[in-house]
Amino acid sequence: MKITPETSMGEILAAYPGARRALFARYHLGGCQSCGFPAEEALSSLCARSGDIPPQEMIDHLKAAHEHDLSLLIPVQEVKSRLANNPPPVLLDCRTREEHEAVAIAGSHFLTQDLQRQLFADNPDQEIIIYDHLGKNALDTCAWFLGHGMKNTRVMRGGIDAWSREIDPALPRYQIEIES
């Protein structure tokens, strides 16, 4: 997707799943009500009301952050191969408990605060692969782990949905319905 100063923030967030995290980290934008932005707001408007940030600077930052996010993604075929290693990576499910209990990849662990503390206290070099439903929200969890010294943490591209399509078709696929 080509971002211009007239591109809406909603379009940017849809195309670049880590955009909100990137904007908050660099500009303190989008993380709370006082620094938030509506989906229909143009990037140029957000830049102007946030201290006249040059739009191209913000666009360049969003593109660089997106490229970094892409480098954290591992194809499901590679995840399958890595799970055969000895020792295998820790496979973490960061979806809701209800989703995990309904359908999960065999051998995966539901991410709880206790498990997170244990992982942070153990080996910071251990390989961790995080998955969610579609492979987008897990990037935020991965960034959290990386920021806490877990440098060998990655995200399964496409989430459990891709796993079901490409690795284990017997694993049920599902859609999240959002009430309006």
Q: Using only C-alpha atoms, what is the Rg of the chain?
A: 18
Distance between start and end Cα atoms, the chain: 27
31 pLDDT band, cuts 50/70/90, is: confident
| Helix, strand, coil shares, percent, the chain, to 5 | 45, 10, 45
Token duo for residue 65? 């952050």
**Tens digit of each residue's pLDDT (9 = 90 or more) over 48-57:** 999 999 999 9
Surface-to-core class of residue 46, CB atoms within 10 Å of its CB (0-12 exposed, 13-18 middle, 19+ buried): buried
CA distance 145 to 11: 27
Order of all β-strands in the sheet with 90-93: 73-74, 153-156, 128-131, 90-93, 109-110
The percent of residues in the chain predicted with pLDDT above 70, rounded, is 98
Q: Where are the domains of the chain?
A: 9-71, 73-166
Mean pLDDT for all residues in the chain? 93
Domain at 73-166, CATH homologous superfamily = Rhodanese-like domain (3.40.250.10)
pTM over 0.85: no
